[in-house]
Amino acid sequence: MNGKRYGQPSPSAREGRRAAAREAEKHGSKSTPAVALRPSVGYQHAEAFCLMWYACECGHRERIWNSRDGVTPLGFVCPSCKEPKLRHVNWALDQYAPDHVPAIGQRVWINLTRDRAMEIASRTVDQVAKGKVPVGTDLQRIADAVFNEGMAPDLVVYGYVEAS
């Protein structure tokens, strides 16, 4: 793990948001809520910079922040029961929060780093192919596929280092 805890919104994304806000002002739309829900313009992904609820049937529930304009999985492994049953729920409660500062211990979606992609590629080869890279490919190419040009999501606990 490096020192950077989560990705920063890119300047272009921020610009897009400001432009959208200016546009809304110009048209004098009084109905615009103070906290916008899932902005439809300026982003490639509907869940960009959203706070989202995730819940598991075991009772685990948490709110995770998407720190970037990138995809987030609908479901994954629950940290309480270890079953792959933690799901994005209550979509209507998704809150667009580009300036959100995570609480200590809150989990945050970030872009996967190339180093982490390599780690995952190695582990996958170990588990699936008993450590032998399949013929016709190499570890770098597998890592590239995992990395997906920096758009693959990763999940980190915010403030873990600072809190310890």
Residues that bind Zn ion (CB under 5 A): 56, 58, 60, 78, 80-81
Q: Cβ 109 to Zn ion, closest distance in Å? A: 19
CB environment 52-77: b (16+ within 10 A), e (fewer): bbbbbeeeeebbbbbbbbbbbeeeee
Nearest Cα neighbor of 55 from 75, 36, 35 is: 75
Q: How far apart are CA 66 and CA 155, in angstroms?
A: 9
Indicate the residue among 78 and 142 with the shorter CB distance to Zn ion. Answer: 78
| Shortest reach from residue 123's CB to Zn ion, in Å | 23
**Structural contact between residues 146 and 121, judged by C-beta atoms closer than 8 angstroms:** yes
| Closer by beta carbon to Zn ion, 84 or else 150 | 84
Quick one: 1 or 58, whose CB is closer to Zn ion?
58
Least CB distance to Zn ion at residue 59 (A): 7
Task: Give the C-alpha separation, 75 to 53, whole Å.
Answer: 11
CB of 60 to Zn ion, least distance (A): 4
Torsion angle, CA of 50/46/44/140, rounded to 10 degrees?
A: 70
**How many beta carbons lie within 10 A of that of residue 134, not counting itself?**
10
Residue type, 34: A
User: By C-beta, is 5 or 63 nearer to Zn ion?
Assistant: 63
- Residue 106 Cβ, how far from Zn ion at the closest point, in Å? 18
Q: Which is nearer to Zn ion, 80 or 113 (CB)?
A: 80
